[in-house]
Amino acid sequence: MIEIPQPDDWHVHLRDDDMLQAVVGYTARRFRYAMVMPNLATPVVSTAAATAYLDRIRAATPSDALDFRPVMTLYCSSAIDPGDLRAGIEKGLIAAVKYYPAGATTNSAAGGSSMADFMPIYETLVETGARLLVHAESTDPAIDIFAREEAFLVDQLAPLCARIPELAVTVEHISTSAGADFVREHPNTAATITPHHLARERSDLLADGMRPDLYCKPVINSASDRDALLGFATSGDPNVFLGTDSAPHPTSAKYGPKAKAGVFNAAYGLEVVAETFHQLDALDQLAAFVSTNGCAVYGVEPPEHTLHLTREAVDADRATELHTASGDTVVLFGTDEASLWTVAPG
Ligand code: NCD
Ligand code: ZN
């Protein structure tokens, strides 16, 4: 059995309406801080919209949540008013701004075509000390899908970091050795890594029947990239921490002719990460990755609660899917790992 401080999820999609109702409990019963992504069908671009969304999240949160603290983000677009952003950050309502390349992923049509287009937003972030969160993936059709993270980092983010070195950046859900190297080499950057990018490689996605439930953006990359991510996550580097990128889609949208990108891992993501660390004999680094590094980067106090994680084969079959009130089904990622671990409040 190991005991860890209550973990945080620094990148999560909680959705809205019935899907929000169905998924928020998985996050709220386990994680403390949750950095809530703003890519709703109508992107969250104002403090008022973020506050209304936070109210809906709170209303949907089950009463047995441990110590759930959703924090809100705005969607980087020309629709953001820098004055409103500043006021939202100063009131403690907005924690960060998320940059999406237009067309890279789910609900990203309102994203940017060049990072250089949003200087007033970045200046506000620098002045207020809030972070820019970046989906680092090129949308250039001439670039191979497995090379798009590195291309974006080289073409877009490196020039921005050189131009505004004081801008604090979180490179979200890094998926390649290039992503890990970028964060090691750029002092004002940090990275989140997802459970599925630590535990799977692209062969799992494609080799034995195509697996829409493992399809996400950025796409799960090669085995050597996964090994580089595992090396970074278990290294003790203070600038890397868990962001699950839990992103539920109904099976009707995942198993159709054009699968939507996103893996729903809020249920078992912690077990998946624990198993990857266990396999590397690195469980002594788990608390840093899932609990304490992110707190330090985001400047929040350490948690009061702890979780106990026990590795033991569990007889009870783990649920493999959830159902929303409107009849949608979502596949739960990580049932195999979940059958090896028990997680309980400490
Ligand atoms: C996310 C979603 O579905 O909202 N999908 C994903 O594959 N990760 C969007 C995102 O974070 O890219
Ligand atoms: Zn995401």
Q: Distance, CA 338 to ligand 1 centroid (Å)? A: 23
Q: Which amino acid is at 158?
A: A
Query: What ligand is nearest to the CA atom of residue 262?
Result: 1
Atom of ligand 1 nearest to the CA of 11: 11
Cis, peptide link before residue 218, omega less than 30° from 0:
yes
- Residue 141's CB is within 10 A of a number of other CB atoms, namely 8
Q: Whose CA is nearest to atom 11 of ligand 1?
A: 245
Ligand minimally distant from the alpha carbon of residue 216: 1
pLDDT higher than threshold 90 for residue 104: no
Give the domains, in start order, of the chain with CATH numbers.
Answer: 8-304 (3.20.20.140)
Q: Which of 99, 106, 173, 196 to mutate to test the pocket of ligand 1 (most atoms within 8 A of CB)?
A: 106
Q: Can you say how many angstroms the Cα of residue 202 is from the centroid of all Cα atoms in its chain?
A: 19
User: Could you report the per-residue pLDDT of 49-101, keeping only the tens digit for each?
Assistant: 999 999 999 999 999 999 999 999 999 999 999 999 999 999 999 999 999 99
Q: Whose CA is closest to 289, among 24, 2, 1, 5?
A: 5
Tokens read off for 317: 């079959």
Q: Which residue has a Cα nearest atom 6 of ligand 1?
A: 262
What is the rounded CA–CA span in Å between residue 230 and residue 152? 22
SS3 letters across 96-149: EEEECECCCCCCCCCCECCHHHHHHHHHHHHHHCCEEEECCCCCCCCCCHHHHH
Q: Which two tokens stand for residue 26?
A: 């998985």
**How does the average pLDDT of the chain come out, rounded?**
97
pLDDT tens by residue, 9-41: 999 999 999 999 999 999 999 999 999 999 999
- Rounded Cα gap, residues 76 and 112, in angstroms: 8
SS percent in the chain: helix, strand, coil, step 5: 40, 20, 45
pLDDT at 141: 96
- Pocket test of ligand 1: the residue of 15, 39, 75, 219 to mutate, having most ligand atoms within 8 Å of its CB, is 39
pLDDT at residue 315, as a whole number: 67
What DSSP string runs through 237-264?
A: -TTEEE---B----HHHHSSSSPPP-B-
- Which residues are within 8 A (CB) of 327 and not within 5 positions of it... i.e. 6 or more apart? none
**Both ends of the chain: CA-CA distance in Å?**
11
- Residue whose pair of structure tokens reads 């059958």 in the numeric block: 339
Nearest atom in ligand 1 to the alpha carbon of residue 262 is 7
Ramachandran angles phi, psi of 190, nearest 5°: -140, 170
Contact yes or no for 275/199 (Cβ under 8 A)? yes
Tokens of 206: 């494609």
How close is the Cα of 107 to the center of ligand 1, in Å? Answer: 8
Ligand 1 mean position to 15 CA, how many Å? Answer: 11
Which residues line the pocket of ligand 1, CB cutoff 6 A? 13, 39, 105-107, 135, 216-217, 245, 247, 261-262
CA 105 to centroid of ligand 1, rounded, Å: 6
pLDDT tens-place string over residues 190-226: 999 999 999 999 999 999 999 999 999 999 999 999 9
Element (H, E) at 26: helix 17-28
Residue positions annotated with a catalytic role: 245
Tokens of 200: 């799977």
Q: Write down the pTM of the prediction.
A: 0.98
Tens of pLDDT, residue by residue over 305-339, are: 999 999 997 767 889 999 999 999 999 999 999 99
As a whole number, mean pLDDT of residues 279-294 equals 98
Per-residue CA distances from 101 to 55, 66, 76, 242 (Å): 28, 35, 10, 22
Distance 13 CA to ligand 2 centre (A): 6
C-alpha 43/C-alpha 41 separation (Å) is: 6
Atom of ligand 1 nearest to the CA of 104: 12
Radius of gyration of the chain (CA): 19
Cα 249 to ligand 1 centre (Å)? 10
CA distances, 194 to each of 56, 128, 161, 237, 289 (Å): 25, 28, 23, 16, 11
Kindly report, residue by residue over 231-241, the tens digit of the pLDDT.
999 999 999 99
Q: Could you give the 3-state DSSP secondary structure of residue 293?
A: helix
Closest ligand 1 atom, residue 105 Cα = 12
- Angle at Cα 137 formed by Cα 134 and Cα 142, nearest 5°? 155
Residue nearest to atom 9 of ligand 1 (CA): 106
**Residue 345 three-state SS:** strand
| Four-residue CA torsion sign, 73, 76, 80, 84 | positive
